[in-house]
Amino acid sequence: MGSTSKKGGKTSAANGEDEYLLAAAQDAVRLCERRGAPRFLGFLDGRQRAAVLKLMESLHVKNAAFWGGYPDAERVYFGVFPDYMAWEGDSEGIPHLVFPLTALGFRYRKEAKLTHRDFLGTLLSCGVKRETVGDILCGEGLAVAFVDAGVADFLAGQIEKVGGEGVVLLPDYEGELPGFGGFREIRDTVASPRLDAVVKVAAGLSREEAARRIEAGLVSVNHLPCLSVSAAVKEGDTLSLRGIGRFAVESIGPVSRKGRLFITVRKYL
């Protein structure tokens, strides 16, 4: 990867990784056009997804989408599709079976209390790359890991224990997802759709504390860090507040009788 230095080493490495990722995304677009077949990149995190989305917008690519195996997945596959596979509306119109990923279910004793870290460590210890592993959802006695379809059989033949606990593997799992508690709706009013005002409402903080967290780089908008307290928040934006949680901005407006904006935010549980 890119070289690092004592001054901003992580940033240099991330920039190098992004350059490689964006070059791969451009290649996917070219190969899709040339061969008339879908092209995919492995699982992306939120920052990578935002970078690829920005690139697709700059290239005016319409037939591209992200899918992580279930709605609101954090780690998602990127796919670009030929014109004959055009869909109406957003990416939900794409046959999700087209994406080369599958789910592995794991049954185990409820008392074991296995965690995301336990499963991720076990999967990676099998020798697969991080980009072949998507979200891992853990519950009582059940966990589901979304993985690249190309490594699913290999992993299924390797894993008998996770965190020292015996597990029963369920290939091509299609049942209920664990560890996803839905949303909690938050309704309030704000003077304006500034980021500090919206963070105040979403997290139940004072305006000063919201601003401090933003300026400290603890708040991301659509998976990208935002340091501007006055940045405008829009309907559909996703806010990530480190140490607090993730929020979806459902609606902004109309204006109340006192001249404030009604706002509805959903917190991921």
Domain boundary among 98, 123, 148: 98
* Among 92, 9, 77, 5, CA closest to 44: 77
Interhelix angle 195-203/207-215, nearest 10 degrees: 110
Asked whether residue 155 carries a pLDDT value surpassing 50, the answer given is yes
Same domain? For 135 and 215 the reply is: no
In a domain, 37, yes or no: yes
Each residue of 3-51: pLDDT tens digit? 344 444 444 455 677 899 999 999 999 999 999 999 999 999 878 888 8
pLDDT of residue 87: 56
Same domain? For 250 and 234 the reply is: yes
Q: Are 3 and 16 in contact (CB under 8 A)?
A: yes
Same domain? For 73 and 14 the reply is: yes
In a domain, 177, yes or no: no
Same domain? For 82 and 149 the reply is: no
In a domain, 4, yes or no: no
Same domain? For 189 and 258 the reply is: yes
Same domain? For 16 and 91 the reply is: yes
pLDDT of residue 1: 34
* Structure confidence at residue 94 as a pLDDT band (50, 70, 90): low
- What residues make up the domain containing 250? 183-268
In a domain, 218, yes or no: yes
Region of poorest pLDDT, from 48-62, 63-77, 87-101, 206-220: 87-101
Asked whether residue 90 carries a pLDDT value surpassing 50, the answer given is no
What is the CATH classification number for the domain harbouring 133? 3.30.70.330
- Stated as kind and residue range, the H or E segment containing 147 is strand 142-148
Q: Are 217 and 225 in contact (CB under 8 A)?
A: yes
CA distance linking residue 108 with residue 166, whole number of Å: 7
Same domain? For 189 and 131 the reply is: no
pLDDT of residue 96: 58
Same domain? For 14 and 94 the reply is: yes
Instruction: Give mean pLDDT, residues 82-95.
Output: 60
Same domain? For 18 and 86 the reply is: yes
CA distance linking residue 133 with residue 151, whole number of Å: 9
Q: Are 136 and 177 in contact (CB under 8 A)?
A: no
CA distance linking residue 62 with residue 232, whole number of Å: 25
* Structure confidence at residue 269 as a pLDDT band (50, 70, 90): confident
What is the CATH classification number for the domain harbouring 24? 3.30.1370.160
Same domain? For 116 and 154 the reply is: yes
Domain boundary among 98, 121, 150: 98
More confident residue, 73 or 136: 136
CA distance linking residue 18 with residue 12, whole number of Å: 10
pLDDT of residue 180: 62
Domain boundary among 98, 126, 153: 98
pLDDT of residue 11: 47
Sorted by sequence, the CB contacts under 8 Å of residue 97 that are 6+ apart come out as: none
What is the CATH classification number for the domain harbouring 198? 3.10.290.10
- Stated as kind and residue range, the H or E segment containing 165 is strand 165-166
In a domain, 138, yes or no: yes
Same domain? For 156 and 209 the reply is: no
Sorted by sequence, the CB contacts under 8 Å of residue 253 that are 6+ apart come out as: 261, 262, 263
In a domain, 2, yes or no: no
Same domain? For 111 and 148 the reply is: yes
Q: Which two tokens stand for residue 120?
A: 């991720």
In a domain, 178, yes or no: no
Asked whether residue 91 carries a pLDDT value surpassing 90, the answer given is no
In a domain, 191, yes or no: yes
Each residue of 201-258: pLDDT tens digit? 999 999 999 999 999 888 988 777 789 999 999 998 889 888 888 899 999 999 999 9
CA angle 91, 246, 152 (to 5 degrees): 55
* Structure confidence at residue 86 as a pLDDT band (50, 70, 90): low
CA distance linking residue 188 with residue 180, whole number of Å: 25
CA diameter of the chain: 63
Burial 155-193 (b: 16+ CB within 10 A, else e): beeebeebeeeebebbeebeeebbebeeeeebebebeeb
Q: How many domains does the chain have?
A: 3
Asked whether residue 122 carries a pLDDT value surpassing 70, the answer given is yes
Q: How far is CA 254 from CA 13, 108, 129, 262, 266, in A?
A: 44, 49, 47, 6, 17
